[in-house]
Amino acid sequence: MSAISQALSGVKVAEFGAYAAGPHIGKMLATFGATVVHVESRSRPDGFRAEYPPYKDGKPGLDRGGCFAIFNDSKYAVTLDLKNESGVDMAKRLIGWADIVIENMRPEVMSRLGLGYESARELNPGVVMISSCNMGQTGPRAYTPGFGSQLSALAGFCGLTGSPEGPPQLLYGPYIDFIASSLGAAAVLAGLDRQRRIGQGALIDLAQYESGLMFVASALFDYHKIGVVAERAGNSDPNAAPHDAYPCRAGGWLVLSCWSDDEFGRLAGMLGQPGLAADLRFATIEARKINEKDLSAIISQWSLSQDAEEAATLLQTARVHAYPVNTIADLFRDPQLLYRHVWRRRRHGVIGDLACYFSSFDLSEVPGDVTGAAPLLGEHNSMVFQDFLGVSDDEYVEYQAKGAFD
């Protein structure tokens, strides 16, 4: 969507994906210049368009959803009826055009439509295709349906969150989906690079479950090696004390941690109690771990009168690990995130002015950008099929009449 050269300019992506795990791969590629076409149909629009709030003015609608908007900026949107032969024809032409095909349907759905990897490769020998689903394309539970929010429990995350005495805790949204999308983006880019160098395509089978396990790989390693089962431990860490969240003025929270006795000495100074560093209850990491509750009470007594933001700044000045617990609203005023322009406001066709998430990284020579807010359902049918794929006016009208673009 930009004339400015970007890292992935000229890279063409067809995305047969919905919800989070597929579309977020395309979003990351689009942010760095790939031309990404998001495929839906009027009878089966992306579930994130209408099934999940928030909506513009609180009224649900296919083009009113913020949930869809946040994972689909900088893309083109088309509608294709894949239950209609003419729609499948057009989908094949789109696959023939693309360098990368992203799909996150249940296994074999694409093959049944005649759009699986074997067919795609006949249309386009160098195509890089990623199939991303809960369990992967094979195995006894390959066809088990599932939501990312619950898959986060199967992959161990919920059981590892919360206090040891209480129940597991929910993580927000489909936590694990974004692990899978990040790993999926890395895999398709590796495949694309190989294609560009030697012409060879790739089929990538990415299980969201297995992707998530890479984020607990050391706990799994420990279990296999010595049989230790990691347990949720509140906010504590075996190698640091203190290491927790502390309540501040006006409902704010502050996290801080000390990784050495020296650092604890500096913290004690900032608390106005330098004597704590020599107090036998707290002088060493071992002692501080044993007396963590007492220490926590002392720090909380101090923190309750502090502003979290000011306290973190002061502690960092003294070289103590600290940060305010940012709420979601705070992410829009955090000075470091503002400096990095993490939120970029773009005009959405129905929602209006909208904050779009940019990226966790940027490139020095060819920076990325959010080139436009998320598209409306089927907004770019004519542009994609006629301008990008070269479908003639007559043919476009013919396919339209057959219901291909419904």
Partner 1 sequence: MLNGYTILDLSNRVGWLAGRLLADLGADVIRVEAPGVSIAGADWQAYHVNKRLLRLDIQTVDGKRTFDQLIPDIDILIDSAQPGDAFVQHLDWARLKQLNPRLIKVSVTPFGCEGPRAGWLASDIELMAAGGAMSLAGEPDGAPMRVTVPQSYGWAGAQAAVGALTAVVHRTATGIGQHVDVSAQAAVILASSHAAAFWDMDGKNPTRCGAYLTGRSMKGARYRAFWPCLDGYLNFMLYGGPAGRRTNTQLVAWMRELNSPLGVLENIDWKRFDPKLATQDEVDELERPIANFFLGLTKRKFLDEASRREMLGYPVSTMADIAADPQLEARDFWYDLTGPDGHQQRHCGSFAIVDGVRPPLRHAPGEEVNIDRLLAELKTDSTSGNA
Subset of residues 170 to 209 that bind partner 1, contact rule: CB under 8 A: 170-175, 177-179, 182-187, 189-194, 196-197, 202-207, 209
Nearer to partner 1, 166 or 272 (CB): 166
Q: Which stretch binds partner 1 (CB under 8 A): 81-89, 151-159, 270-278, 389-397?
A: 151-159
Nearest to 15 by CA among 285, 384, 403: 384
Taking CB under 8 A as the criterion, the residue among 42, 259, 283, 376 binding partner 1 is 259
Q: Which residue has the tokens 């395509």?
A: 201
* Identity at 15, one-letter amino acid code: E
Residue 29-48 contact track with partner 1, rule CB under 8 A, x = bound: ---x---------------x
Nearer to partner 1, 283 or 331 (CB): 331
322 forms part of the interface with partner 1 (CB under 8 A): yes
Nearest to 252 by CA among 323, 319, 316, 192: 323
292 forms part of the interface with partner 1 (CB under 8 A): no
351 forms part of the interface with partner 1 (CB under 8 A): yes
Nearer to partner 1, 88 or 155 (CB): 155
310 forms part of the interface with partner 1 (CB under 8 A): no
Task: Characterize the bridge pairing of strands 343-348 and 352-357.
Answer: antiparallel
Nearer to partner 1, 87 or 174 (CB): 174
Cis amide bond preceding 242, omega within 30: yes
Q: Which helix (H) or strand (E) holds 184?
A: helix 175-198
Nearer to partner 1, 11 or 14 (CB): 11
Task: Characterize the bridge pairing of strands 352-357 and 100-103.
Answer: unpaired
Task: Characterize the bridge pairing of strands 253-257 and 243-247.
Answer: antiparallel
| Contact set for partner 1, span 214-253 (CB under 8 A) | 214-225, 229-235, 237, 240, 243-245, 247, 253
Neighbours of 272 (CB within 10 A): 9
Nearest to 348 by CA among 10, 64, 130, 55: 64
364 forms part of the interface with partner 1 (CB under 8 A): yes
